Structure 1
Amino acid sequence: MALSYKSRRRLALLILVLGLPGYIVVAVTVMNWLERPSIWVELAVYIGLGVLWALPLKAVFKGIGQADPDAPPQDHED
């Protein structure tokens, strides 16, 4: 079942406002539990985690910045 444009916009906002900060807190907490690796390993892990969250959510964010494709066309009269 495909989400409507309006539902995807709301879900994307919810993910960005609540999900992403939560994911960041979890990622930093997990990294703090581990023994401190070298700076390059730590940087690689953070970059990997930074990309990893977006891959499963790509379909939600795709086309969100565009106009609603289901909306009726608007006439611009001057």
Structure 2
Amino acid sequence: MALPYKTRRKLSLLILLIALPLYIVVAVNLTDWLRARFEIGFLTELAVFVVLGIIWIVPLKPVFLGVGQADPDAGEER
């Protein structure tokens, strides 16, 4: 079942304002922990940041899909 446009729009705003900053804090703490525990190098740390920076969108793509466009549920009235 697809989410209605207005629900996706509100959910995407909630994700961008609350969940994403929390995810960034977790990602930074994870890389700090990896650096302290395993003494990883710069390129490994960069690779971890790139993977974590891309992977968050995979489960959330359906929420953000089409949010920036006109409301398809509104019909022809403008």
> For the residues of structure 2 that align with 1:2 and 1:44, how far apart are their CA atoms?
34
Alignment partner, residue 71 of structure 1 = 74
Question: What is the RMSD computed on CA atoms of the aligned residues?
Answer: 1.2
> In the alignment, residue 3 of structure 1 is paired with which amino acid?
L
Q: Could you give the per-residue CA deviations for residues 23-70 of structure 1, whole angstroms, max 9, x where no partner exists?
A: 000011111112341111111110000000001000000000110001
- Count of residues paired in the alignment: 75
**Pairwise CA distance, 1:72:** 2.5
Select which of 50, 53, 63 maps to 2:53: 50
Q: Which runs of 4+ in 1 moved over 6 A?
A: none
How far did 1:3 drift? 1.2
- Cα distance in 1 for residues equivalent to 2:29 and 2:41: 17
Match of 1:38 in 2: 41
Using structure 2 for the length normalisation, give the TM-score. 0.89
Question: Please, which runs of 5 or more residues in structure 2 have no aligned partner?
Answer: none
Distance in 2 of aligned mates of 1:70 and 1:46: 38
Structure number with the higher helix fraction is 2
* In structure 1, C-alpha distance between the alignment counterparts of 2:51 and 2:67, rounded to whole Å: 24
